[in-house]
């Protein structure tokens, strides 16, 4: 039976970790994710879980130790943010290529420079091509639910890839919200025990992990990895359906909010989706046909599914909380427009940049963006691509 509580996003993740009770957690502190290993270590010290906690000297070491523990057959995880994720870049690629189904709790924070500790998605989006599954949350409830679903997705034999559960730094990680928690036994039964088929410390069947791969084999390994990532879509949906039966909360690759008859749709990731939903409710009361698609799963990227969801609208605002420095928009803008083109969905698509380094994103900003889309369609007004929302003049 579910019980109600009030928790920050970091508390929610730490509580989910306690309920799952994984085997090993190496970690190194970095703002704003520091509270997660701190809380987990407190649970361990108080005898509420028996995870082996390993304090390490850097984030590179935390991911190295996570990979080592996972390769030895232990269910493993770590947590980090921003420069911590950047420091473990090399190891992220190794975790994915070695097909280690470990988990990472990422609390999104901008990458330097200039030095800043507030939220944007430059850390997670910078790691988008490392081969990890990436799932983003709008709220504290969602990050709790996403983390409980993480291991059943990653450890599925069709997948066997690492998974990154992401939430917005400070906005959800430190803000306290009402949350509904599952009972410990329910979580334990849902996640199950980890029983790897292959692992290093199996005396009856020794294996090598991460050996040098000659040219005759490396490309095939990459293809197998890509196919596993693509297969993870169906597994994510299967796990979500089981989780809905347990919790009553429904999840998919993305959430469609008031989009059934929408002429104008905003696609957005993370906590700012709540702001967009409020604006949509307000504009609907004025008779405006607007809606929001909140992207939950960024890797594997649901390009075809998004194209299908957008095909009947007149224009879409694609919101990126990071800058790709490519002169052609952000990661979400690039991937959605490519998906629309391949699916021959020829609608007006405008890419906006917002919220960098914690810059406020308001309901009024959403009103203005929808007004721009409507003006472009009804009056042929040219809309600026890659505009920075809230930029000081």
Q: Which residues of 173-197 are buried (b: 16+ CB within 10 A; e: fewer)?
A: bbeeeebebbeeebbeebbeebebe
From residue 285, give the alpha-carbon distance in Å to each of 5, 280, 281, 363, 369.
33, 9, 6, 14, 17
Task: Indicate the domain borders of the chain.
Answer: 3-247, 254-388
94-111: pLDDT as tens digits: 999 999 999 999 999 999
Give the pLDDT score at 211: 86
203-231: pLDDT as tens digits: 888 888 888 999 999 999 999 999 999 99
371-384: pLDDT as tens digits: 999 999 999 999 99
Give the pLDDT score at 2: 80
| Domain with residues 3-247, CATH architecture | 3-Layer(aba) Sandwich (3.40)
327-351: pLDDT as tens digits: 988 999 999 999 999 999 999 999 9
Tell me the mean pLDDT in the region 127-138: 98
Distance CA 314, CA 321 (A): 23
Mean pLDDT of the chain, nearest integer: 97
Give the pLDDT score at 110: 98
Give the pLDDT score at 209: 85
Give the pLDDT score at 75: 98
Give the pLDDT score at 208: 85
Distance CA 214, CA 281 (A): 56
Q: Is residue 253 predicted with pLDDT exceeding 70?
A: yes
Q: For a pLDDT cut of 70, what percent of the chain falls above it?
A: 100
257-278: pLDDT as tens digits: 999 999 999 999 999 999 999 9
Which CATH code for domain 254-388? 3.40.50.920
277's CB contacts (< 8 A; 6+ apart) are: 257, 292, 294
Residue 296, judged by CB atoms within 10 A of its CB (0-12, 13-18, 19+), counts as buried
Q: From the centroid of its chain, how far is CA 380?
A: 36
Q: Is residue 242 predicted with pLDDT exceeding 90?
A: yes
329's CB contacts (< 8 A; 6+ apart) are: 318, 320, 337, 351, 385, 386
321's CB contacts (< 8 A; 6+ apart) are: 119, 120, 121, 269, 270, 272, 330, 353, 354, 355, 356
Q: Is residue 323 predicted with pLDDT exceeding 90?
A: yes
With left for phi above 0 and alpha for psi between -120 and 50, is residue 269 left, alpha or beta?
A: beta
Residue 382 DSSP SS3: coil
- Comparison of pLDDT for 207 and 141, the residue scoring more: 141
Q: Is residue 1 predicted with pLDDT exceeding 80?
A: no
Domains 3-247 and 254-388 share a fold: yes
User: In terms of Cα–Cα distance, which of 375, 334, 368 is closest to 351?
Assistant: 334
């Amino acid at each position: 039976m579910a019980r109600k509580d009030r928790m920050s996003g970091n508390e929610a993740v730490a509580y989910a970790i306690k309920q799952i009770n994984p085997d090993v957690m190496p970690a190194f502190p970095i703002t704003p994710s520091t509270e997660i290993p701190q809380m987990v270590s407190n649970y361990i010290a108080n005898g509420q879980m028996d995870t082996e906690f390993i304090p390490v000297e850097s984030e590179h070491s935390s991911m190295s130790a996570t990979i080592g523990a996972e390769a030895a057959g232990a269910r493993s995880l770590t947590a980090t943010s921003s420069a911590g994720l950047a420091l473990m870049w090399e190891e992220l690629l190794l975790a994915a290529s070695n097909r280690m189904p470990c988990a990472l709790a990422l609390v999104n924070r901008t990458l330097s420079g200039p030095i800043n500790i507030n939220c944007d998605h430059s850390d997670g989006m910078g790691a988008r091509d490392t081969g990890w599954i990436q799932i983003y949350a709008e709220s504290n409830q969602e990050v709790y639910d996403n983390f409980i679903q993480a291991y059943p997705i990653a450890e599925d034999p069709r997948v066997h890839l690492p998974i990154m559960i992401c939430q917005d730094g400070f906005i959800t990680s430190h803000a306290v919200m009402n949350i509904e928690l599952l009972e410990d036994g329910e979580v334990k039964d849902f996640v199950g025990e980890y029983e790897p088929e292959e692992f290093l410390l199996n005396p009856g069947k020794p294996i090598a992990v991460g050996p040098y791969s000659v040219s005759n084999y490396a490309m095939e390994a990459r293809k197998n990895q890509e196919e596993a990532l693509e297969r993870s879509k169906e597994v994510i949906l299967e796990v979500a359906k089981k989780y809905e039966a347990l919790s009553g909360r429904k999840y998919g690759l993305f959430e469609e909010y008031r989009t059934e008859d929408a002429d104008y749709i905003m696609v957005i990731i993370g906590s700012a989706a709540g702001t967009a939903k409020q604006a949509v409710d307000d504009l609907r009361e004025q008779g405006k046909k607007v809606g929001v698609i909140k992207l939950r799963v960024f890797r594997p990227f649901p390009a075809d599914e998004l194209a299908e969801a957008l095909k009947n609208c007149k224009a879409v605002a694609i919101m990126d909380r990071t800058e790709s420095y490519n002169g052609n928009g952000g990661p979400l803008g690039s991937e959605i427009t490519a998906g629309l083109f391949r699916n021959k969905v020829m609608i007006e698509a405008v890419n906006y940049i917002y919220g960098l380094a914690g810059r406020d994103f308001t309901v009024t900003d959403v009103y203005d963006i929808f007004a721009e889309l409507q003006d472009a369609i009804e009056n042929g007004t040219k809309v600026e691509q890659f505009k920075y929302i809230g930029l000081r003049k």
